[in-house]
Amino acid sequence: MYIKKVNLENFRNYSRLGVEFFDGINVIEGKNAQGKTNLLEAIFFCCIGKSLRASREREVIKFGEDTARIKIEVQKYYKASEIYLLFSRLAKKTIKIDGIPIKRIGELFGELNAVYFSPDELRLIKDAPEDRRRFMDIHISQISKQYFYYLGRYEKILANRNKLLKDCKDVQVLKETLPIWDTQLVEVGTKIVRMRIDFVENLSPYAQKAHTYLTANSETLGLEYTGGAVLQGKGGLPLEQELQLIKDDLSKRLQKSVDKDIKLGYTSVGPHRDDIKISVNDIDIRSFGSQGQQRTVALSLKLAELEIMKEETGEMPILLLDDVLSELDAGRRERLLKFCAKTQTFITGTDFPKGLPNAKYFRVENATIN
Ligand SMILES: Nc1ncnc2c1ncn2[C@@H]1O[C@H](COP(=O)(O)OP(=O)(O)O)[C@@H](O)[C@H]1O
Ligand SMILES: [Mg+2]
């Protein structure tokens, strides 16, 4: 798929913008604070209906204005579609696909798929497990509405269980009531764990390949979903049996931590605490990797995500690369740009070499693009 046209109205620093893009590499050049990231943010908003900057949504409305609009024309293999987002200071945002308002954000998933990468994504490797879970959740939600639904269910059940843990001071009552929530938590949690294991298993060979490629064969990458440890060494079981193993394991973990949870006042085990363990040449990259290694691993994960999205949806997603080239050495840069040729790419930066193959250049200056 690719984006044909982006229209913005009062979005961030843009008053009015209408630009047709190229289905190859779109080089978005400009000095700092001109609107490059804002453009990518607008595009990514149309993928998941949320901001990639974890800010309050109304902040996207241009200072002094009441509403903001994004309109994006997308071309897929067999159809074209138009995604429209309206933000207002007074009302909830509206999303329309081909002119028809959607009721739930889940309906937007799959209309426009993109992978976003910026130097901030180093968080994915360095920071708390939360970022890695978000990575999985955003990805799997884009390709499975069912997963998005399970996540919502899980969060509700978890919130109820946590509320009980926090509010109820009677241990006897707690021990009698918790199992009601546990049954539901395990039921939905099992589905989430199963889909995440699948995701990491699918991602792994592509991430390894991307990493080997970016590092010119000097490093080997390993990925493992911690919540799937129970299936370790049990490859090839029928799905039903695998689900049962995950379920039993989750139940057991919940039961084992019940006293701890009561003491803490929240649920300390489950998919909301799982993680992806990442190693390079068998060494834990989070604790022992260099900054450069971590950066390359983050990029490999994102490039792999692109490939499995294609496998899962039949369409190549769009690649959004925000300010990443300056952070890579010359060899990795060149290999990354070669990789970009596979799909429509928006790549921002302050300056680029002239004459990149299969690329069109756009200059962003004070919220205008030429
Ligand atoms: N709601 C808003 N209204 C007007 N300007 C905004 C708003 N939000 C951010 N900006 C401005 O957008 C500019 C940053 O744009 P950005 O796309 O991040 O720049 P860059 O080209 O460096 O990526 C800043 O000058 C910031 O003040
Ligand atoms: Mg920027």
**pLDDT tens sequence across 270-287:** 999 999 999 999 999 988
* 113 CB-near residues (< 8 Å, 6+ apart): 1, 47, 142, 143, 309, 313, 315, 317, 318
CA of 292 from ligand 1 middle (Å) equals 28
Alpha-carbon span 36 to 363, nearest angstrom: 9
Supply the DSSP symbol for 89. S
Q: DSSP letters along 156-215, please?
A: HHHHHHHHHHHH---HHHHHHHHHHHHHHHHHHHHHHHHHHHHHHHHHHHHHHHHHHHHT
**122-314 shares the fold of 1-113+318-370:** no
For the whole prediction, is pTM greater than 0.85? yes
Hey, how many other C-beta atoms are within 10 angstroms of the C-beta on 33?
Answer: 10
> Which H/E stretch holds residue 285?
helix 285-288
How much distance in Å is there from the Cα of 98 to the middle of ligand 1? 28
CATH of 1-113+318-370, one of 3.40.640.10, 3.40.50.300, 3.30.200.20, 3.30.1330.10: 3.40.50.300
Q: How confident is the model at residue 54 (pLDDT cuts 50, 70, 90)?
A: low
Task: Tell me the residues surrounding ligand 2 (ion) with CB < 5 Å.
Answer: 36-37
Above 80 in pLDDT, residue 193?
yes
Please state the domain extents for the chain. Answer: 1-113+318-370, 122-314
Ligand 1: does its nearest atom lie under 6 Å from the Cβ of 36? yes
Compute the distance from residue 46 Cα to the ligand 2 centre, in Å. 18
Residue 111 burial class via C-beta count within 10 angstroms: exposed 0-12, middle 13-18, buried 19 and up: buried
Report, as an integer, the average pLDDT of 6-33: 97
Residue 138 CB neighbour total at 10 angstroms: 19
d(CA 357, CA 24): 9
242: which 2 tokens?
Answer: 């695998």
Ligand 1: which atom is nearest the Cα of residue 348? 23
Q: What angle do CA 126, 129, 130 make, to 5 degrees?
A: 110
pLDDT, tens only, 196-243: 999 999 999 999 999 999 998 888 999 999 998 888 888 788 999 999
Match domain 122-314 to its CATH number in 1.20.1050.90, 1.10.10.10, 3.30.1330.10, 3.20.20.70.
Answer: 1.20.1050.90
The answer to whether 82 touches 13, Cβ cutoff 8 Å, is no
Residue minimizing CA distance to atom 19 of ligand 1 = 33
